[in-house]
A and B are shown apart, each in its own frame.
Chain A
């Protein structure tokens, strides 16, 4: 399976600021996703990152708060904008196996704390 890396691995930020999280894959993948995992909770899909077009957001998530870029088939960024303490979570990217996009593999995650 693909090797997935994320930067930063963790960060502590002040409320009102923004943080951009990077996801890098060692091979070209069609499907990339961004998830949020709040402390002690399950995985919630934020959006599907589409290469060459706007991301597809799930209910409850909006582009102004979580802008996503997908400039090519190996890279994506998620920005958490105008942060509040409620945004403290682990943010994970995942990629779908080629030709079987529902088989997903996760990056190591970014642990975000907002003060």
Chain B
């Protein structure tokens, strides 16, 4: 089955800096890669996703890149703000299969 590795496990940045979280996956048939943000005590929220027919997708301050050859994808957050502090999870799936999640990255943005 699919295996998703996520790094780093924790990431501390200063407000205004950029943050990058990386994930690798094992199943070359995977074609959908979402990112979830989970604030303390809240539900995971889908913040951005990418499908395998696209190399990059942006939504305001967040972007996701996908390298199918290397089987890795990354979340980029620019101009970080304290409200970006949360745990971020990457995931992967193949059509008709279920999501496999990474272990999560705790992002702390200091003012």
Contact of B44 among A41, A58, A106 (CB under 8 A): A106
A42-B102, A42-B104, A48-B98 known; A102-B43 Cβ under 8 A: no
Q: Are the C-beta atoms of A43 and B101 separated by less than 8 Å?
A: yes
A residues within 8 A CB of B102?
A: 42
Q: Is A67 an interface residue (CB 8 A)?
A: no
Q: Are the C-beta atoms of A107 and B43 separated by less than 8 Å?
A: yes
A42-B89, A43-B89 known; A103-B101 Cβ under 8 A: no
B4 — nearest CB in chain A belongs to which residue? A42
**How many residues of chain B have a CB within 8 Å of chain A?**
19
Q: Are the C-beta atoms of B95 and A102 separated by less than 8 Å?
A: yes
B35-64 CB contacts (< 8 Å) to partner A: 36, 42-46, 49
**How many residues of chain A have a CB within 8 Å of chain B?**
17
A residues within 8 A CB of B49?
A: 103
Q: In whole Å, how far is A76's beta carbon from the nearest beta carbon of chain B? A: 15
B residues within 8 A CB of A106?
A: 36, 43-45
In the complex, A103 Cα to B45 Cα: how many Å?
A: 11
A residues within 8 A CB of B101?
A: 42-44
Q: Are the C-beta atoms of A105 and B98 separated by less than 8 Å?
A: no
Q: Is B93 an interface residue (CB 8 A)?
A: yes
Contact of B98 among A45, A107, A109 (CB under 8 A): A45
B residues within 8 A CB of A33?
A: 98
Q: Are the C-beta atoms of A105 and B99 separated by less than 8 Å?
A: no
In the complex, A33 Cα to B101 Cα: how many Å?
A: 14
Interface string of B97-111 (1 = CB under 8 A from A): 111011110000000
Taking Cβ atoms with an 8 Å cutoff, the residues of B that contact A are 32, 34, 36, 42-46, 49, 89, 93, 95, 97-99, 101-104
